[in-house]
Structure 1
Amino acid sequence: MPAGTPQWRRSLPADLAAGATTALVGIPQGMGFALVAGIDPIYGLYTAAFATAFAAFLTGSSYLKVMLSNVLAVSLFSVLAPVPQADVPATLFVLTLLVGLFQLGFGLVRAGSLTRFISNAVLTGFIVGAALLIIVGQLGNLTGYDLPRNPVQILAVVDLLTHTEGVQPEALGIGLLTIGLVVAFRRVPRLRPVALLLPLIIAAPLVQAALPEVALVGDISAVPAGLPLPVIPDIALAPGLLVPALALAIIGLVMAVGVTEAIPERDGTIADVNRDFSGQGVTNIVCSFLQCAPSAGSLAATALNVGAGAETRAANLISGAIVGAIIIVAGPLAEQIPLPALAGILILIGAELMYRPREITCICRYSRPGRWAMLATFVSTQVLPLQYSIYVGVFLSLGIYLVTSTREASVVRLVPVGEGMFREEPPPGRLTAGRLTVLSVSGSVYFATLRAIERSLPSPEGVEGAVVVLALRGRVEAGSGLFRMLERYARQVGAHGSRLVLAEVDPKLLAGLEETGTAAAVGRENVFVATPVIGESLREAIRAGEALARERG
């Protein structure tokens, strides 16, 4: 196009192609994830249309595709399972509203940075566990056997294996055929965009012509033509849904942060995750009035959007519009989709979600706390309602952070090697009379790590004339515990005829040292304030410490 052509016109062909691709993939996914969630498939289609289109303008990321994702669907099933079938729609719409309000609140208070406290090990255990629930939850639709509901879903496998006579060979055959066709079509580049949709189009007439006993989507719900009429969520249901709605919001936002960080903007920058939070929140609030399920950013769908050539936000808008147009024109045709075929697609998606051997191996090999946290989170997904498993994961992540930080917090010895450089060594157990010892605090400094740091300090007992230089660069918000610890050590060292010198002290930390009396205990002349030049304050402190050591020696 000519150089003067507006950006939106230059990117329109690519965005049209990407939008059409994600719409064709999103239709079976939307219906399938609705089945996973235990809701009418039409609500999955409405979510694929409205949530994707609205979020295109509201989120920080240009490519983030917002939809009813796989993990969110499993979590939703756990929430809705005890709800009477007649009350599911009303409960669903209130959940969507509450999830949106929580997400908007997280965005307004700029809580995006808090998601870093959910460790990758915990997130991996959660995702693998949720993926297994997707697979197990679809075994009944795949085989045509009516699996009983069990709080521990993995027991459904045992029930299926002990009642193989209830398996419907025709249903199983259609499901396996669908899986095989998806795998085969994905190997053909031109068919890859429709690799999920095309097997459903093939399976539908086959079942109608030869296998009438195989269950269809229409057997569980009608799929009307046209877009939904607005509804008003029943706020009276909100009090009993606050806790699960918060869990769903956390799950969705953690997933969205992973998407935003994995898929940067065209210029390489990372989008504002807090705007992502707010955008998803507003999207869910609006969509709760349009009969939609809770939605969040999906990594697989966003990666497909980028891989299909999306250049601007318009790609997601186009995707949502195409899904909406298909609902209007051909909505009732979705009733003819065989349930085993949809189950086969969902089982394949679940298997792909579980298959992360390198990540699991890395966690098991290099992080002992992470290994057990991953296992514990995985087990919790199988024995607890999934919306509560995320709370288990959050507390485990915080536990890993605290334990790891406490173990890593210590003091290291800095041995000069010339030209202003130092070699790190373990600290000595005892100071040396008449000698200078240079130390630095390593690891996080907060109340839980102070004891580990204090235990690492060399003992001054039985030693006279020693001088300790302790570097504190970067320690700003240490709290009163650090001041008390330094005062104790300064008095211990002084009681044995030695001195403590503090180097690289931030001006904010100096104010705390003076207010608490710690600077007086150390000696104000022995406190060296940090400068913009790294190491300058330390060198001054070392020179002063050497002079003190000579005097006392």
Structure 2
Amino acid sequence: MPAGETNWRRSLPADLAAGATTALVGIPQGMGFALVAGVNPVYGLYTAAFSTAIGALLTGSSYLKVMLSNVLAVSIYSVLAPVPEADVPATLFVLTILVGAFQLGFGLLRAGSLTRFISTAVLTGFVTGAALLIVLGQLGNLTGYRLPREAIQVLAIPELLLHAGEIQPQALFVGLLTISLALALQRVPRLTSFSLLLPVIIAALLVRTAFPGVALVGDIAAIPAGLPAPVVPDLALAPGLLIPALALAIIGLVMAVGVTETTPEPDGSIADVNRDFSGQGITNILTSFLQCAPSAGSLSATALNVAAGAETRAANLISGILVGAVIVVAGPLAEQIPLPALAGILILIGAELMNQPHVIACIWRYSRPGRWAMLATFISTQVLPLQYSIYIGVLLSLAIYLVTSTREATVVRLAPVEGGMFREEPAPERLLDDSITVLSVSGSVYFATLRAIERSLPSPGGAESAVVILALPRRVEAGTGLFRMLTRYARKVTAGGNRLILAEVNPRLLAGLEEGGVVEAIGPGNIFPATPVIGESLRAAIRAAKAGT
């Protein structure tokens, strides 16, 4: 028997169990997230079936679960809110294909490394804000009072208080009961996988027998039996959706990178994030023809997949197939699910997303730029459409990177200590007569940091016979700006009869130093290229300075 078939048979029981578990959780989640997105819950079910199954075959990660996630759902709601209700399905499918095209483009361009420029502080503010929107957006369904679409933000609470007399006690009871049952089942190890689905079923039975007036899914949308008929997205709608689709693609990919980097493969390696990007992109392009919403890797769903014992990508394939089977066999039964019950599940999910006090406290306490970036991103999620908040977050992340990189770039003095080692000290403001001052650039050397570096170099003043040894970082991305700065400083130093020596110079800069006039300004024999031995070039420069050669 071939080894591959043996491995497949060995892992199949575990993958079946994991696939069944994530399918049980994914059914109410898919419907609920579609509700958050403001679309028919059946599109959430289609996405839970097709996107999960197809993504299992195309992504690089064996465990990554591709689905309509909570943060994506809130963002989709922001995009679809101005769209007339009759045009929502067609707009949704075009949005899915555009998100897929952008994701595929990111993968082909190998843009995975660019996501590191979105800081943890910005991402924390964004996710917390999105989670709060999930909670606020479900207060209407939880209480039975239908909130106006424009009130689903921080205005939801005063809107509810103003209409407290219109809250339906039966709907509120069903919603709170669902939350209580879900929390209780999460504490029972053998029932954890049923903690979302079972409370919804109990709530549906209760409403059918005791509270017939509570709103059901069937009151707002029809859930047909069977799989969806293929559709062709109307690309005439695409021009107006390009910017929101790019934002959704960025949101999805940033979340997916977090999943990939925290979920190792079975052999302990980390999957190729660019293949994950491409796989998610192709998945969304294909599923846009199958009436699916935009999807991406989900951290919570992937974590559940691993915790449930998944061993291969077959677990996600099985999960999607099982959800599809439920749609075929019992799709219309989903119409009997009470809206307050789904709202309760979504409020729980939103509360879990916001439950990261240690991360928030750490950022607030130890990172001043991160503190304000987190706060600004959070506020933007509450006052702007969510898809634009991610652009604000990206710009804030880049601003933090530029500001902190520039601040860190400075010049320090290397004071010799016993054993041939050096201690970093602040660079002197002026050179002293007959002295040897060893300096090193601390931080990144690129065009934005050159002014800070030049300002922190000691002034020659009226010093005589002084020697300055400047050790450059081995990685320099400053080009001609660096050569001009070194030439200016060299002329200042040598004008008074002093000497400038450059050490640890990357060999690839030698031609540029010659062409940029630096060699001429500091004189021959004053450049010591870096060697494979760290510090060897610097020690050679110090010996030359002491010998006067």
Interval containing the TM-score (normalised by the shorter chain)? over 0.9
Residues 1:482 and 2:467 aligned together: no
Q: Deviations over 1:424-477 (max 9, x none)?
A: 111111112111111111111111111111111111111111111111132332
- Residue 498 of structure 1 corresponds to 498
- Residue 470 of structure 2 corresponds to 470
Q: Secondary structure at the match of 1:525?
A: coil
1:53-202 matches, within 5 Å, as 53-150=53-150, 153-202=153-202
Matched residues in 2 for 1:99 and 1:232: separation? 16
Q: Deviations over 1:193-233 (max 9, x none)?
A: 11000001111111011101100001110111111111000
Matched residues in 2 for 1:175 and 1:326: separation? 24
Matched residues in 1 for 2:8 and 2:136: separation? 44
Q: Secondary structure at the match of 2:445?
A: coil
- Residue 206 of structure 2 corresponds to 206
- Residue 315 of structure 1 corresponds to 315
Given residue 124 of structure 2, which amino acid in structure 1 is its aligned partner?
A: T
Matched residues in 2 for 1:334 and 1:58: separation? 30
Question: Deviation of residue 419 (structure 1)?
Answer: 3.2
Cα RMSD of the aligned pairs, angstroms, is 1.4
1:364-403 matches, within 5 Å, as 364-403=364-403
Q: Deviations over 1:342-367 (max 9, x none)?
A: 00000010011011100000000000
- Residue 258 of structure 1 corresponds to 258
* Mean Cα deviation higher: 8-17 or 152-161: 152-161
1:290-305 matches, within 5 Å, as 290-305=290-305
Residues 268 and 484 of structure 1: CA distance in aligned 2, closer, same or farther (over 3 Å): same
* Residues 409 and 444, structure 1, Cα contact 8 Å, conserved in 2: yes
* Mean Cα deviation higher: 345-354 or 267-276: 267-276
Q: Secondary structure at the match of 2:525?
A: helix
Matched residues in 2 for 1:365 and 1:4: separation? 51
* Residues 144 and 167, structure 2, Cα contact 8 Å, conserved in 1: yes
Normalised by the length of structure 2, the TM-score is 0.98
Given residue 173 of structure 2, which amino acid in structure 1 is its aligned partner?
A: G
Question: Deviation of residue 483 (structure 1)?
Answer: 1.1
Given residue 542 of structure 2, which amino acid in structure 1 is its aligned partner?
A: I
- Residue 19 of structure 1 corresponds to 19
Normalised by the length of structure 1, the TM-score is 0.97
Matched residues in 2 for 1:18 and 1:101: separation? 30
Matched residues in 2 for 1:209 and 1:437: separation? 87
- Residue 425 of structure 1 corresponds to 425
Q: Secondary structure at the match of 1:215?
A: coil
Residues 1:444 and 2:444 aligned together: yes
Matched residues in 1 for 2:291 and 2:4: separation? 43
* Residues 445 and 476, structure 2, Cα contact 8 Å, conserved in 1: no
* Mean Cα deviation higher: 354-363 or 500-509: 500-509
Matched residues in 2 for 1:30 and 1:367: separation? 37
Q: Give runs of ≥4 in structure 1 deviating > 4 Å.
A: 1-5
Structure 1 unaligned runs (5+)?
none
* Residues 476 and 508, structure 1, Cα contact 8 Å, conserved in 2: no
* Mean Cα deviation higher: 363-372 or 423-432: 423-432
* Mean Cα deviation higher: 516-525 or 257-266: 516-525
Matched residues in 2 for 1:452 and 1:257: separation? 34
* Mean Cα deviation higher: 7-16 or 286-295: 7-16
Question: Deviation of residue 371 (structure 1)?
Answer: 0.3
Structure 2 unaligned runs (5+)?
none
* Mean Cα deviation higher: 379-388 or 461-470: 461-470
Matched residues in 2 for 1:482 and 1:476: separation? 9
* Residues 151 and 383, structure 1, Cα contact 8 Å, conserved in 2: no
Aligned length: 549
What's the % identity of the aligned pairs?
78
Q: Secondary structure at the match of 1:6?
A: helix
1:507-546 matches, within 5 Å, as 507-546=507-546
Q: Secondary structure at the match of 1:424?
A: strand
Question: Deviation of residue 2 (structure 1)?
Answer: 12
* Residues 137 and 152, structure 2, Cα contact 8 Å, conserved in 1: no
Q: Deviations over 1:384-441 (max 9, x none)?
A: 0000000000000001111111111101111122333211111111112111111111
- Residue 413 of structure 1 corresponds to 413
Given residue 258 of structure 1, which amino acid in structure 2 is its aligned partner?
A: G
Q: Secondary structure at the match of 2:328?
A: helix
Matched residues in 2 for 1:247 and 1:151: separation? 23
Q: Secondary structure at the match of 2:477?
A: coil
Matched residues in 1 for 2:496 and 2:333: separation? 88
Q: Secondary structure at the match of 2:182?
A: helix
Question: Deviation of residue 509 (structure 1)?
Answer: 1.6
Matched residues in 2 for 1:479 and 1:362: separation? 37
* Residues 447 and 477, structure 2, Cα contact 8 Å, conserved in 1: no
- Residue 277 of structure 1 corresponds to 277
Q: Deviations over 1:260-292 (max 9, x none)?
A: 111111222211111111000000000000000
Matched residues in 1 for 2:113 and 2:2: separation? 43
